[in-house]
């Protein structure tokens, strides 16, 4: 009931953005639930969805960063405990993705905690569902250039390319993959690695497959921009 009450309380994005204390409390409640019931899917699934939902409407640089940092370990524990539960994998990745977008320190903490390996595992699941790979691709992009994740860049790029080949006709995943591959292609530290495994070629192929999709074309254009200074 508590999980549902928090979700209902925070259905208005304006409320979440206006009340940092409510945001912190909401994240903390879900983190506590995840910690208290680590092997109960009936708790883990709605708690992860609630974290994702709340963070989707949080403010960038929110004062709730301490609550986010506290939520990282239980969210990652859920990904480890339920490696084939697609709901847990999707919303675990989505939660961390949204948390990382809110503050750079959170992205660094997520990467330092070893999340990249979990995102890659989620992406490598052989499934017909598209939402889990999409969440994993977004999550990889969120920590791609974090110091702790950079050593895994080649593996991460390869995982995104494999997923793109499996789901190349899915427009949303194609767009997300181009955005993530673009992060690697535009970064001087990872550009050669990305080119070596054909990331630029894959992006150009996506442009041809989805030639009429404006969002995909924009992602392709951004991905192929010159490296950042």
Q: Which residue has the tokens 């995840």?
A: 34
Rounded CA separation 92/136 (Å): 9
List the structure tokens of 153.
């860049």
Rounded CA separation 148/207 (Å): 31
pLDDT in tens, 149-208: 999 999 999 999 999 999 889 999 999 999 999 999 999 999 999 999 999 999 999 999
- 8 pLDDT band, cuts 50/70/90, is very low
- 62 pLDDT band, cuts 50/70/90, is low
Quick one: how far is CA 175 from the chain centroid?
A: 14
CB atoms within 10 A of CB 132: 23
**Structural contact between residues 142 and 100, judged by C-beta atoms closer than 8 angstroms:** yes
Q: What is the pTM of this model?
A: 0.88
List the structure tokens of 147.
């110091």
pLDDT in tens, 80-109: 999 999 999 999 999 999 999 988 999 999
pLDDT of 59 > 70? The answer is no
Residue 169 burial by Cβ neighbours in a 10 Å radius (0-12, 13-18, 19+):
exposed
Which sign, positive or negative, has the C-alpha torsion 38, 41, 46, 52?
Answer: positive
**Structural contact between residues 155 and 192, judged by C-beta atoms closer than 8 angstroms:** no
Quick one: how far is CA 193 from the chain centroid?
A: 22
**Structural contact between residues 97 and 56, judged by C-beta atoms closer than 8 angstroms:** no
The CATH number, out of the four listed (3.30.310, 1.25.10, 1.10.1060, 1.10.287), of the domain defined by the range 1-148? 1.25.10
Rounded CA separation 219/5 (Å): 38
Q: Where in the chain is the domain with CATH 1.25.10?
A: 1-148
């Amino acid at each position: 009931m508590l999980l549902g009450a928090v979700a209902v309380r925070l259905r208005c994005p304006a409320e979440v953005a206006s009340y940092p204390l409510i945001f912190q409390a909401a994240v903390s409640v879900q983190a506590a639930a995840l910690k208290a019931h680590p092997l109960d899917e009936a708790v883990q699934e709605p708690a992860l969805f609630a974290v994702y939902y709340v963070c989707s409407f949080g403010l960038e640089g929110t004062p709730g960063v301490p609550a986010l940092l506290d939520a990282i370990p239980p969210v990652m524990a859920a990904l480890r405990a339920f490696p084939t539960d697609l709901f847990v994998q999707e919303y675990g990745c989505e939660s961390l993705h949204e948390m990382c977008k809110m503050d750079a320190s959170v992205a660094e903490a997520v990467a330092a905690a070893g999340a990249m390996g979990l995102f890659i595992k989620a992406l490598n699941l052989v499934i017909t569902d598209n939402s889990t790979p999409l969440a994993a691709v977004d999550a990889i992009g969120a920590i791609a250039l974090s110091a702790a994740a950079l050593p895994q860049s080649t593996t991460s790029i390869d995982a995104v390319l494999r997923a793109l080949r499996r789901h190349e006709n899915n427009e949303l995943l194609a767009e997300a993959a181009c955005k993530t591959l673009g992060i690697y292609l535009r970064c001087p530290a990872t550009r050669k690695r990305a080119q070596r495994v054909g990331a630029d070629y894959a992006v150009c192929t996506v442009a041809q497959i989805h030639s009429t999709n404006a969002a995909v074309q924009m992602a392709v254009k951004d991905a192929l921009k010159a490296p950042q200074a």
